Structure 1
Amino acid sequence: MVAAGSGTRRVRVAARRPESDGVVSLELVAPDGGRLPDWAPGAHVDLVLPGGRTRQYSLCGDRWDAHRYRVAVLREPDGRGGSAWVHDRLAVGDEIGLGGPRNNFPLVPAPRYLFVAGGVGITPVLPMIAQADLLGADWALLYGGRTRSSMAFTGELARHGGRVRVVPQDEAGLLDLPRFLGHPDAGTRVYGCGPGGLLDALAAATAGWPPHTLRTERFVAPAADGPVRDTAFEVHLARRGAAVTVGPGRTVLDAVADAGVEVLSSCRQGTCGTCETTVLDGEPEHRDSVLDDDERAAGDCMLVCVSRSRGPRLVLDL
């Protein structure tokens, strides 16, 4: 059984090119040349690689091109092998599975945007910039990376002139967030994507800004405190009519898989939203970095790869 909404399609690699040291972009098309699903800035897709490995990447191409997606993949030497396979083995003409698109990082309407990107975190920002231009909104981008040669898409960004500030760390040090952000402004929305340290610093720098000013997308979920409930709890699978026990140190995702219920997942770290599942009863203990405060308070969904239960029982729509 596959959870609702977890369907995938086949796509073909139409082009690939190096974008910087360690980053390669892929252009993906339908094998029959047909139309791909529409998407909006901030969306990501799941690439389903051989062996069932699933990895999520932000769409960073032209959202108005209905027949072509673009993603960029950073080689991660300490990763789980997905990025290395893409860099070393995936070739033009190959077909892979694709899930989504999904959007946990939407661009909300605003007269002014400040974008902050670190490393490959530039990818979701590229279509946001295009959308801001289309809407006539004011915007500026602060883009940091380890070295200039490691920073992807700088040539593409150059056409925006002074709106883009490229700051390689080995040349200019860490990003000066307070200087870039300026004074709090109710009409400005701040978007950030990149390493956890950068996003933590960005959250601290905007602490005095109006509520909901800052929106971020993380590569890795922030460290959580000890679980509210460290004993076993039951998960009832409403559609299956069965129940499983989730013990300490186990994930709901793994426990339901043992019961024969497959939920499509990717990051297994609570950062991508792929495994979001509807909660019919019970109170989840949220440990992800995808849901916002209102969604957490509603308690009607959870990321089963990391989140647990505050009580002895959860009922899921599985």
Structure 2
Amino acid sequence: MPIKADSLTADSSSATRPAIGRPGIQSLRVARKDLLADGVVRLRLEEPHNSRVPDWTPGSHIELVLPTSDEGNISRHYSLCGDRWDPHAYEVAVLNEPNSRGGSRYIHDKLAVGDMITVGTPRNNFHLTQGKKFNFIAGGIGITPIMTMIKAAHTLGIDWHLHYGGRTRASMAFLDELEQYGDRVTVWPQDEMGHLDLSFLKEPVQDGRVYCCGPEPLLNAVAGAAAAWPSWAVRFERFVAAALEAPVRTEPFELELAVSKKTVTVGTDETVLSALACAGVPVLASCMEGVCGTCEVGVLKGTPEHRDSLLNDGERAKNDRMFVCVSRAISDRLVLDL
């Protein structure tokens, strides 16, 4: 089934974001568990009754709820990397992180074919938008969301190039699949070639877009190399939240909840999320770092202090939404669509 052109949003400065609300969950069966590269496994998660799974778009991720023995259930988010037109399954690739907080270690060491796992509805904070030239930049396991973008761009006939860096060739997933694209792909193992050459980013490309996913040092390097590009033309998907400075406002502020007609005070050392929960207005959250997008809430009035790692400069300037697990307020009062 061909990828539809309307799967791309009109412009990254006004990209359609997911609807606010509680994402659904479902139980899927681990149908396959394959070793893709050193320390990287791919999971195929199938609907056990051959029913449809929710649709998704390039750049989407899903939440896996993992029953680790030492911490109880924990949730982790992984980018989808399979066939988006497969109606009955999802695929993710997971790196066995040496400093794992439990998620990747459980998947690599304990999760087995046949196990059932709780999965959240796909969300997309890394939309592929319309453009004439796409530069994809991936570092290590950051190739996972990029794979789905490449497939979409290639099918639509859009000019694109992938710059793919990793520690070693053996640690780089999907190299076999990428061979079909020939010289559209630059593979850059660090042990052979040093750090990824980003000189191609020096000058902005008309109607160009840059999509980057990987570890923080790569994201910082790309941001610096692409400093001359419009901020909306350079998109990042982060593994962990960006480092934050102290909040602009340390004083308490008020939330006016337009739907529930409540007023809530957020204290100096309190998150908006926790204040809402204490007031009896819980909002679904997951990462607690402003990375996954689960706790997105609409802002009707006031100026939030955006402390997430999701919105670009143009989206922040609109001040029409915030991620309440980390973001706070600059104004004395925020009116939320809750």
Confirm or deny a common fold (TM above 0.5): yes
Look up the match of 1:15.
Answer: 32
SS where residue 53 of structure 1 aligns?
A: strand
The 8 Å contact of residues 299 and 321 in structure 2, kept in 1 or not, is answered as yes
What is the letter of the counterpart of residue 279 of structure 1?
V
Q: Does 1:104 align with 2:121?
A: no
Look up the match of 2:193.
Answer: 172
Q: How far apart are the structure 1 equivalents of 2:325 and 2:79?
A: 20
> Deviation digits for residues 101-130 of structure 1, max 9, x if unmatched?
111111112222111001111001001111
> Deviation digits for residues 210-244 of structure 1, max 9, x if unmatched?
55321111122222222111122233444555444
Alignment partner of 2:301 out of 281, 285, 292: 281
Look up the match of 1:163.
Answer: 184
Look up the match of 1:124.
Answer: 145
Distance of aligned partners of 1:43 and 1:307 in 2 relative to their CA distance in 1, 3 Å threshold: same
Alignment of 1:155-234 (within 5 A): 155-178=176-199, 180-181=200-201, 183-210=203-230, 212-234=232-254
Once the 2 structures are TM-superposed, how far is the Cα of residue 188 of structure 1 from its aligned partner?
2.0
Q: Does 1:39 align with 2:56?
A: yes
Look up the match of 2:172.
Answer: 151
> Deviation digits for residues 121-141 of structure 1, max 9, x if unmatched?
100100111111101112111
What is the letter of the counterpart of residue 334 of structure 2?
L
Of 162-171 and 247-256, deviating more is 247-256
Q: Does 1:306 align with 2:323?
A: no
What is the letter of the counterpart of residue 82 of structure 2?
G
SS where residue 122 of structure 2 aligns?
A: strand
Gaps of 5+ in 1: none
Alignment of 1:1-80 (within 5 A): 4-50=21-67, 51-80=72-101
SS where residue 159 of structure 1 aligns?
A: helix
Q: How far apart are the structure 2 equivalents of 1:82 and 1:253?
A: 24
What is the letter of the counterpart of residue 47 of structure 2?
A
The number of aligned residues is: 315
SS where residue 124 of structure 1 aligns?
A: helix
Once the 2 structures are TM-superposed, how far is the Cα of residue 71 of structure 1 from its aligned partner?
0.7
Distance of aligned partners of 1:81 and 1:246 in 2 relative to their CA distance in 1, 3 Å threshold: farther
What is the letter of the counterpart of residue 219 of structure 1?
F
Distance of aligned partners of 1:148 and 1:250 in 2 relative to their CA distance in 1, 3 Å threshold: farther
Distance of aligned partners of 1:86 and 1:264 in 2 relative to their CA distance in 1, 3 Å threshold: farther
Gaps of 5+ in 2: 1-19
Distance of aligned partners of 1:258 and 1:37 in 2 relative to their CA distance in 1, 3 Å threshold: same
Distance of aligned partners of 1:42 and 1:281 in 2 relative to their CA distance in 1, 3 Å threshold: same
The 8 Å contact of residues 277 and 301 in structure 1, kept in 2 or not, is answered as yes
Give RMSD over aligned pairs. Answer: 2.0
Q: How far apart are the structure 1 equivalents of 2:269 and 2:185?
A: 44
TM-score by length of 1: 0.91
TM-score by length of 2: 0.86
Distance of aligned partners of 1:159 and 1:182 in 2 relative to their CA distance in 1, 3 Å threshold: farther
Alignment partner of 1:92 out of 113, 132, 147: 113
Q: Does 1:82 align with 2:100?
A: no
